[in-house]
Amino acid sequence: ARAWPRPRAGRREGLDRAARLRRVLVHVDRQAHVLRGLAVDCVIGFIEWERRIRQTVVIDLELPVDCRAAAVRDRVEDTLDYKKVAKRVIAFVEASEFQLVETLAERIARLILDEFALEWVRVSVNKPGAIRGSRDVGIAIERTRDDDR
């Protein structure tokens, strides 16, 4: 069987060589702190019994960071203090009472963008045991400062 050459990235989209290179460089240069498995108890759900109890949600965050200066100087002042972000998110979620994980994820994203002046954030909120036979159910979103409020 003859192996056909694979199409090069960006050719189908009609991008010129410079545009393809910019797209690759933007992707390669992206760095992020990742917080996984932040478990927080809150009131979440739209069923009547869910409104009377606290349930655990599991949150994952991806936060942009340019870690080059911090890596050179080895100082927390030169990077995003993700412990502060985690503490703020925990306090917010514990005090919240949303019906939907979608709403909770949106509010977490907006809080992080506004209070920590980041350009973008990825947030996933999962509700363990929400569907029988499934480990969890949830939502994953990415938001930027430029998104409509």
Kindly list the catalytic residues: 127
Please say whether the beta carbons of 70 and 78 come within 8 A.
Answer: yes
Q: At what angle do helices 101-116 and 82-95 cross, to 10 degrees?
A: 140
Please say whether the beta carbons of 59 and 93 come within 8 A.
Answer: yes
Distance CA 44, CA 47 (A): 9
DSSP-derived 3-state class of residue 113:
helix
Distance CA 103, CA 80 (A): 25
Please say whether the beta carbons of 89 and 112 come within 8 A.
Answer: yes
